[in-house]
A and B are shown apart, each in its own frame.
Chain A
Amino acid sequence: MTNNIEITHIPHRRGRGTFLTYTTGYVSSILLTLGAYVVVVNHILNGGTMVFVIVAFGMSQLLVQLLFFLHLGSESGPRWNLVIFLFTIIIVAIMVGGSLWIMANLNYNMIPPAVNDAQQYLINQ
């Protein structure tokens, strides 16, 4: 007698796209790319604001591509793909954020990026 344990298979459908979702994602991505490009190339904003706006465009495009191309979060059943993705984001945030924080606090970084006397001496060698 074979092992007849009945496992109720909860249907887990991966997210699927349609022509409409892919096209929407594509057009939105183009617009967001061009938007960021235009802001930079035409020097519409400056410094911190520009960085913020560009990053906002980038994050929006990330969301668009995750939703429309990778169908993240649209799976039925337990959303393990989404969970793993969020975990990765946490790891990335710790790594990148932590690196920037630590490097910003090192004395070496207090030397201005322009060549200082010590570096010039070494270059001259």
Chain B
Amino acid sequence: MTDTTLHQQEYHRETDDKTIFGFWVYLMTDCVVFAGLFATFVVLRGRAFGASGGDLFSMPFVLTETLILLTSSFTCGLAILAAHRGDTRRVLGWLCATFALGASFLGMELNEFHNLFQEGHSWHANAFLSSFFTLVGTHGLHISFGLLWMVVMGAMIMRRGLGGATVRRLICLSLFWHFLDIIWIFIFTIVYLMAA
């Protein structure tokens, strides 16, 4: 190999590492944002004029949501494995699966919000619900952006295949998606399980 090709490889590898590390730092700042929302939620969870979260939440529903999101995190990992192998069709397949599961999760969450709203448990009702909708809603907003990102990545892969930049972006997307599942673990534990 010539010196220039080695240089280019070095450059690409270093760019990859730097970009992905930078994205990791962003995820850590996002973590701090969620920590603030969690702290607010925990402080305000008693301010519900006597109503309790346990009355509002359906545990089997939430368990289903959780397992769906967890599975989507798994299929995302499989997509990355396929990307490292250069298997374009598998990547698209697993990416579609991840999107389908993520969209199901989001649909279920929106359904839950809608039902709460209809029953009068909106974010106007009390402080506990305000903080609940803010925390879980922010997570849902992140999920929405992740889904949009998946659509864009799918389109990009279909048009350009698995080039260097594309794989790097897929890795960032997978970091993002795994991170969201981790945040959901905390929401599941602190918001839903502790309400019961």
User: Which residues of chain A have C-beta atoms less than 8 A from B35's C-beta?
Assistant: 91-92, 95-96
**Contact between A33 and B21, CB atoms less than 8 A apart:** no
- In the assembly, what is the distance between CA of A114 and CA of B46, in Å? 9
CB contact under 8 A between A114 and B17, given known A22-B81, A40-B193, A96-B35: no
Give A80 to B39 CA distance when docked, in angstroms: 27
- Residue B92 is within 8 A (CB to CB) of chain A in the complex: no
Assembly CA distance A81 to B171 (angstroms): 14
For residue B110, CB closer than 8 A to chain A, the reply is no
1/0 contact string of B17-56 vs chain A (CB within 8 Å): 1001100110011011001101110110011111000000
Interface of A is mostly: helix
Smallest CB–CB gap between A100 and chain B, Å? Answer: 6
Contact call A57/B178, Cβ cutoff below 8 A: no
Candidates B14, B20, B47, B73; contact of A65 at CB < 8 Å: B73
Closest residue of chain A to B52 (Cβ to Cβ) is A113
Interface residues on B, range: 35 or more
Taking Cβ atoms with an 8 Å cutoff, the residues of B that contact A are 10, 14, 17, 20-21, 24-25, 28-29, 31-32, 35-36, 38-40, 42-43, 46-50, 59, 63, 66-67, 70-71, 73-74, 77-78, 80-81, 84, 171, 175, 178-179, 181-182, 185-186, 188-190, 193-194, 196
Sample 10 A-B pairs with CB under 8 A, ordered by A number: A26-B73, A33-B67, A34-B63, A65-B185, A70-B178, A70-B179, A85-B28, A91-B32, A99-B43, A113-B47
Give the interface of A toward B (CB within 8 A). Answer: 9, 12, 14, 16-19, 22-23, 25-26, 29-30, 33-34, 36-37, 40-41, 51, 54-55, 57-58, 61-62, 65-66, 69-70, 80-81, 84-85, 87-88, 91-92, 95-96, 99-100, 103, 113-115, 119
